[in-house]
Structure formats: C-alpha cells, structure tokens
Amino acid sequence: MPMAFNLASDFDRALKAAAAAAGLEDASDFVPEVRTADARHGDFQANGVLGYAKARKLNPRATSEKIVAQLSGEVRDRCEITIAGPGFINFTLKPAALLEWLRTFSTREALAAGAAAAHAGQTWLVDYSSPNTAKQMHVGHLRSAVIGEAICRTLAFTGARVIRDNHLGDWGTQFGKLIHGYKRWANPAALAADPIEELERLYKLGHNATPDGSPELDEARRELVKLQNGDPENVRLWQKFTEESRLAFQQIYDRLGIRFDHFLGESFYNDKVDRVYRELGETGIAQESEGALVVFHPEHPRFKTQPFIVRKADGASNYASTDLATALYRAEHLHADGIVIVTDFRQADHFEQLFLTVKKWFTAKAYRVPELHHVSFGAVTGEDGKALKTRSGDVIRLKALLDEAEERAFAIVTEKNPDLPESDRRDIARIVGIGAVQYADLAQNRSSNYLFSWDKMLALEGNTAPYLLYAVARIHSIFRKAAVRPDDPAIEGIAIIPETPTEIALARKLTKFPDAIRLATESLRPHYLCLFLFELAGDYSSFNNADKVLVEDPPIRARRLLLCARTLLILDTGLQLLGLRTLTRM
RNA sequence: GCGGUGGUAGCUCAGCCGGAUAGAGCAACGGAUUUCUAAUCCGUCGGUCGUGGGUUCGAGUCCCGCCCACCGCGCCA
C-alpha cells in the first residue's frame, strides 16, 4: 500500500474500517476525529471513541482496544499505537515510516498531486484588492491584496483552476466630483510627473468644493450624468483615470507578486443591472419600498426588516445592484464553482444579504448556485485602536510602506554582509523587506483587527519572514558546501532512517505539512500555514544547531542531507503559497 | 435598540467541529559559538484565558446573563 499524503486522513479511514471489522454497533456513525497531536503524545490522536462510546454507554477504553485490535497490518507496521487516558488512540510514526514519507513526497509535483484532491476539477474566482481608481493605495489596501493572493495560491495548489479578479471601484458619484475638480484645477506638469498623486489631489479639491446641497454638487452630478450618457470628453477623462490608475496599481502588484486575470470593475456591470432588476422582480424576490427596489429575507432575524437596497429610489444602481450582476456574470460566463470575496469585516452584512439574495435568485431561475465565501478581515488600526494616520494626518501610502520595508532590510543586510556587492544586497533587501510585510499580515488570524506598527511590520526576528528565509538560505549554503543538488538521487539512495531527537522531530514536523494545507484551505485562513512553516523552521534550526550535516559517515550525511532537502522543499513550497519569494543566500 | 467581531503573559498574537500539564514571538535575565551563514540555538521569568452562572467524564473552546472595545444597521462603496 502506497504511503498516503495526508496521514491524518489515512488513519481516519483506517480507524473507520477497523471499527467496522470489529463489529461495532452503528460503525458507520463512528467518527474517529483524527488530528495532529501535541508532540508529547505522538503524531496523531483520535478522540472520536469517547463521544461514540458515551452515546452508547460503552466503556471508551475497551472500545478503543477493540478498534485498535482490528487495525490493518500496514498501520501497525508504520506506527506505535497506544491507548491513553479515557480512550484516546495515539499514533506515533516509526522512524522508518518517516523516511518512507520523505522518500515518497520528494518533489513539489508530488506534494501538489497529494494536495490536489481538495478542489480538483473546480473553478474558483477570487475577488480581491479592488481599490478605487484615481486614488493611491494605502495600508488599508494591503490586507485584501496579500490575503487574497495567498488564498489564490493555496486554492490552486489544492487543485482548483483559479481566476483572479480585481473588482475596481471605477464607477459612481466620486467620478462626478473628480471631473469637476479636474476641469478646474488640473496641473498638467503634476499630472505627467505623478498622475495618481495629482488625481487624488483633484478628487479632494472636487470633493471639498461640492458640499451637500451646494450648486457645485449639482454641477458634479451633471458631469456624472454626462459620463454615463457617453459624453466624449468625460468618457475620455474617465478612461485616462482608469489607465493611469491601473499602471500605478500594477507597480505595487509587481512588488507583491500579484497578477490579475481580470480587471472587471463596477463600470463593467453598469449595463448588466437591468436584468437583475427584472429577474428579482419577476421572481417576487424584490419589492418596492419607499420608492426603492429592495429585498427582505423574512426567515432572517435581522434582514426581515433591514432591507437590501437593490435599486435606489431615483432609479440609479448602487453597490448591491452591481454586486448582484457581478455574481451572475461570474457564475454564468466565468463558470465559477466557488466565489471568494476578500474585503474588510465592515461589509459583512452586505455580503450576507448579497449571498442570501443570490441563492434565492439563482434557485428561482434554475441557475447553478456557486459556493459563496466572504473572506473578511479586521481593520488596520494605530496604537490607539483608531484608523491609521501619519503624523501629518494622511493615511500611510502602501508604496511608502514597501519602500521603508526595503530600506530597513537593506540596512540589516549591509550590517550582516558588508562584503556582498550592493546590487546583491538590494535584491536580498527587496525579498526580505517585502516578505516581512506580507508575512506580518498573513501570520495573524485575519478576523482580528490588525495593529499597525512599523516595528512589528518590519521586525526581522522572531516569527517573521526573515526567520523563515534565513532557514532556507542556510540549507542552500549546506548544499553549496557539499557540492550536491538537493534533488540529487544519490542522497536518497543511501539515506538511512533518522535517529537523533532533532532529526526525528524535524521529520515528524515535515509529515504534518498536508494537514496545515488542509486547515488553511478549508478555512481560507493562511495563518495556519504560517504557523506551520514557523514551527518547521524552528525544528530545522534546532536540528541545524544540534546535528552537523556534512559529517564523514556517508549514510548519516545522506540522511541529514535528505532532511535538509525536504525541509527546503516544503519551506520553499509553503512560502511560495503565501506569495513570498525565497533566497539562496542572505 | 438590534446585530457582527474581538477581550488569553508587561506588549503583539496562536490555540483547528470540547480532549491530556494553556503555547509562541518581543521585552527582561542567564548560557552555547573562533560554524554547514549567530538574521541562530538552549534555558529562566511571566497567565484565576474580561466577568458571573450553566451543560459535560472533560470548557480558553459550547449555552445564557453582564462589562469593555471596534464596527454595521434605507438609498456611499
């Protein structure tokens, strides 16, 4: 029997089969609940017998013993199995089984093939980043971009075809104000030098010049109507705003390793909302209320009275209208089996209402209903818990944050490695600095608010990207010194089973990679992967400190090189899934 | 008022459908190394898990009440 990729699921299946073989009553209801265990109790632990036995008034220990007695020979050969406490079943992989797993999953392709079962044959669309055009991206835009990209990569790794869609905020009332400001105060020189900076300035001028109830606001609205009606001058301006914005955004995306498949912004759906109104009306899902078209959800405690406004009383579309049209387009034309939308938590109500409405609408029209997920994340706040500002009162620009990260990393590289040529030090600083920013965001559970501090974001020790990248660089260094490649088959040929405590701890950790991938993907929470990689790098560092790799004895040297090679493979793969780049020296 | 999210060590955070003695990083303190890169490793210190009840063999985790913080709730996105 071949070695399973995810050992936890493998033991889960084995226990279910053993329960049936043992003749347990309702054996099909027995859920083994295998999970990775505290290392003190072995590698994997099954808790399910306790609940099963309790419901049937059986002795849990005796039940566990009956099940374990029926476990297949392969499982018994691979593990030490013990029954502990009230009836936990503990599996501890034998060193020979560890070596077997490491030999089986020896390449990124092998790992990906093992992971691909989760989403094979499915198409997932991820809507993330989604900034407003004609404005700079600031730190508030970081989380969606970084978390969204990590989710795209983990979904792709687990077998999905992934469509990356940037749902730009490129339509709506703000463009009336921007055109108003542009036509009065545009500075051609500034526009040529730094277009987004100038457009943002003009938008602010336009906004301040058009207070509620003012004749200027009416004028801005007329500019918007002209744009919507195809006025050539305003359409040309709008196109210019969009192009300049996309060029500026791409500079940030390039630094973060992000490449979108589509930029289908709100404007794209402008002519697709009439169908939404018609179908929601004819199916009776939407109704007129106070002049607007709204959807109530009578079965929902809150949304039975809190309306989802689908069309404004003045007949214009809003966020809800275009999001409904967007959902339909993604299901109908992009054939999405799953849709993931990455925005901050303040929009949770909106998406809950949107998804309820989409499900009713698609069901009524017999459209296939995709799996819908709102991946929300907490706000970025300053030390005082309030929205983040610089001293001058402006929000911190994303570009400035990334620049600062690279500068700080450059100072450290220069201090550590003054002899490297400057261009090398710059390259290293780029990867370390940007990686630190990405990792700082990803390592935290996305639900909680994000407390921004330069020192935390740019920390270079502890649970940070540099710690992981450093482990990778040290492994490369060993292979350079040994003058072999990590994938050299000769290593595997003579490697013997791991023996020292640090070797075994490292090997055991490596076999837990599939479970980390599963957790991160199922919950759409990349921090589970970060946690695993940090622990793996820690186990590697301990091993690196305790066991010299390049010893004379060929089999010992080979087994340690094998551990180095697999640690490198999994760290590289995992960091790449998070959207980070790695280094061969630093 | 209704609802969402959160409250765990001095600080920043993990804790995976309830499971074994609650874990990291930073900070503080002590130790290892003239190395396969010390951006490292080992150790010490540090917590009535907001609070009061309840369910359970077992609760940081589930249920109910209360307190605190941030956020959302009819035409912004």
pLDDT tens digits, chain A, 586 residues: what are they? 689 999 999 999 999 999 999 998 888 889 999 999 888 889 999 999 998 988 888 889 999 999 999 999 999 999 999 999 889 999 999 999 999 999 999 999 999 999 999 999 999 999 999 999 999 998 889 999 999 999 999 999 999 999 999 999 998 888 999 999 999 999 999 999 999 999 999 998 998 898 888 889 889 989 988 998 889 999 999 999 999 999 999 999 999 999 999 999 999 999 999 999 999 999 999 999 999 999 999 999 899 999 999 999 999 899 999 999 999 999 999 999 999 999 999 999 999 999 999 999 999 999 999 999 999 999 888 766 666 665 555 678 899 999 999 999 999 999 999 999 999 999 999 999 999 999 999 999 999 888 888 777 778 788 999 999 999 999 999 999 999 999 999 999 999 999 999 999 999 999 999 999 999 999 999 999 999 999 999 999 999 999 999 999 999 999 999 999 999 999 999 999 999 999 999 9
Q: In terms of residues, how long is chain A? A: 586
Does residue A418 fall inside a structural domain?
no
Rounded to whole angstroms, the distance from the CA of residue A408 to the C1' of nucleotide B23 is 30
Q: Is the CB of A345 under 7 A from strand B?
A: yes
pLDDT value at residue A385: 66
Asked whether A124 and A336 are in contact (CB, 8 A), the reply is: yes
Give me the interface pTM, i.e. the ipTM. Answer: 0.96
Does residue A16 fall inside a structural domain?
yes
Does residue A118 fall inside a structural domain?
no
Segment holding A412, helix H or strand E: helix A398-416
Segment holding A342, helix H or strand E: strand A338-344
Residue-number span of the structural domain to which A52 is assigned: 7-93
Question: Of residues 29 to 58 in chain A, which lie within 7 A of strand B by their beta carbon?
Answer: 31, 33, 35-38, 40-42, 45, 47, 50-51, 54
Q: Residue A415, class by beta-carbon neighbours within 10 Å (0-12 exposed, 13-18 middle, 19+ buried)?
A: exposed
Q: Is the CB of A564 under 7 A from strand B?
A: no
User: A506 CB contacts (<8 Å, ≥6 apart)?
Assistant: A498, A536, A539, A540, A542, A543, A563, A567
Does residue A21 fall inside a structural domain?
yes
Tell how strand A286-289 and strand A123-127 pair up.
unpaired
Q: Which of the nucleotides lies closest to A535 (Cα–C1')?
A: B24
Asked whether A179 and A277 are in contact (CB, 8 A), the reply is: no
Q: Which of the nucleotides lies closest to A530 (Cα–C1')?
A: B14
3-state SS assignment for residue A58: coil
Task: Provide the domain count of chain A.
Answer: 1
Q: Is the CB of A70 under 7 A from strand B?
A: no
pLDDT value at residue A502: 95
- As ranges, strand B nucleotides with an atom below 7 A of a protein CB are 2-7, 12-21, 24-26, 32, 36-42, 57-58, 69-77
Does residue A47 fall inside a structural domain?
yes
Q: Which of the nucleotides lies closest to A518 (Cα–C1')?
A: B16
CATH number at residue A14: 3.30.1360.70
Q: Which of the nucleotides lies closest to A290 (Cα–C1')?
A: B74
Does residue A251 fall inside a structural domain?
no
Segment holding A236, helix H or strand E: helix A232-256
Amino acid at position A95, single letter: P
Asked whether A226 and A234 are in contact (CB, 8 A), the reply is: yes
Q: Residue A423, class by beta-carbon neighbours within 10 Å (0-12 exposed, 13-18 middle, 19+ buried)?
A: exposed
Question: For residues A336 and A122, what is the distance between their CA atoms, to the nearest angstrom?
Answer: 8
Does residue A462 fall inside a structural domain?
no
Tokens for A439, please give them. 């990792």
Nearest to A125 by CA among A476, A367, A371: A371
Question: For residues A284 and A130, what is the distance between their CA atoms, to the nearest angstrom?
Answer: 32
Does residue A36 fall inside a structural domain?
yes
Helix axes A554-578, A527-546, angle to 10 degrees: 160
